[in-house]
Amino acid sequence: MIEKIVGASQSEVTALIQSVYREPVKEKLIGRRIKEIKDAGGIGAVSAIPQQAIRWGEIAVKSGVDIFVIQATVTSVNHVAERYRPLDLGAFCKAMPAPVIVGNCVNYEVALELMEAGASGLLVGIGPGAACTTREVLGIGVPQITATCDCAAARDFYFKMHGRYVPIITDGGMTGSGDICKAFAAGADSVMVGSMLARAEEAPGRGYHWGMATSDENLPRGTRVRVGVTGSLKEILLGPARVDDGSQNLVGALRTSMGSLGCLNLREMQLVEICIAPAIKTEGKVFQSARKAAQFMPDAGRDS
C-alpha cells in the first residue's frame, strides 16, 4: 500500500490516503504492536484522538504501554461535542497509570490548564509541519518560537506553584538542526520531528512524507511531500554528517550550538538570550545564495 501512495499522482494521492485510512484501527493490533516495540527494546507509546482515548487507553494499559498520547489539531480541557461524550481530561489523566502527553496547544493559558488537568507533557504547535496544511485550510496557527516561549513560560509558572515539572515538546516546523537548536533556546524540553526522519534510508515512505490529517474524510489538512533520502537514521541523528545543510548529525549540531553559547545543559540552553532576526541565515551568504540559484539554471556549474 505504501508503494501505491508513493506512486500516486498529486491529484489522486489524497483520495488514496483517505481510502487507506478509512479502515478502522483493529484493537487487537494495539497490544500486538506495543509488544513488538517493547520486545525490540523500544518505548511503547499509543496516540489517540480524544474520542478514542478511553477505549484505546484501556487496551494500551493492559498491554503495558509506557506513554499514552492524546492528540488533536487543538486540545483543551473544555471540550464540547454533540455526537459523543466529551473526554474528561482531568479524570483520564488521574486514572491513567502511564504518563499522558497531551496536544496540541500554542498559548500560555491553554498550556497551564492542560498541566493543571494532569498532563505529563505537552505537544506544542498548530500546523507548522512540512506536510501539514492546517494553517492554509483553517487559517489558524502560531509561529513555533512564539508558541514554545509562551508554553514554556506556563511550564515554569506551574512548576513554581506546584513543584511538578511538565516537559514542553515543540512539535513540527523544524527543517534542520538549526531549527532544533532554536526550539530548545525558546524553552523546549524536547522536539518532535517528522520530515527530517522521513528522509532516512530506513523510513517506510521511500523519500515521501504525508501529514497526519491527510486522511480526514471531510476536510483533509495534510498533503504528501517529497523529502528525498539524505542518509541512514544513524547519520541523521548522530552523524558523522556528509552534507552541510543541517539534515544530518542533529545531536552533534545541538551539542555544538550549546557549546558555542556556553551552555552546560539543556536548562541553560533554555535561558539563552534570543532575538528576532529573519535574515540570520542569509546575512553575508551571497555566494551560497548564488550557488543555490545556479542549481536551477541550464548552465549550472559551467565556468564563464
Q: Where are the domains of the chain?
A: 2-24+104-283
Q: Shortest CA distance to 167 belongs to which of 114, 129, 96, 94? A: 114
d(CA 185, CA 274): 7
In order, the DSSP letters of 49-114 are: -GGGHHHHHHHHHHTT-SEEEEE-SS--SS---SSSPPP-HHHHHHH-SS-EEEEEE-SHHHHHHH
Tell me, what DSSP letter sits at residue 132?
Answer: B
- pLDDT (tens, 9 = 90+) of the chain, 304 residues, equals 888 888 888 889 889 888 888 888 899 999 999 999 999 999 999 999 999 999 999 999 999 999 999 999 999 998 888 888 889 999 999 999 999 999 999 999 999 999 999 999 999 999 998 888 899 999 999 999 999 999 999 999 999 999 999 999 999 999 999 999 999 999 999 999 999 999 999 999 999 998 777 787 788 888 888 999 999 999 999 999 999 999 999 999 999 999 999 999 999 999 999 998 877 777 676 676 776 777 655 554 444 4
The architecture in CATH of the region 2-24+104-283 reads Alpha-Beta Barrel (3.20)
57 C-beta neighbours (distance < 10 Å), count? 22
pLDDT for 301 equals 47
Radius of gyration (C-alpha) of the chain in whole angstroms: 21
Inter-helix orientation angle 144-162/108-116, to 10°: 40
Strands 168-171 and 190-192: parallel
Q: What global pTM score does this model have?
A: 0.90
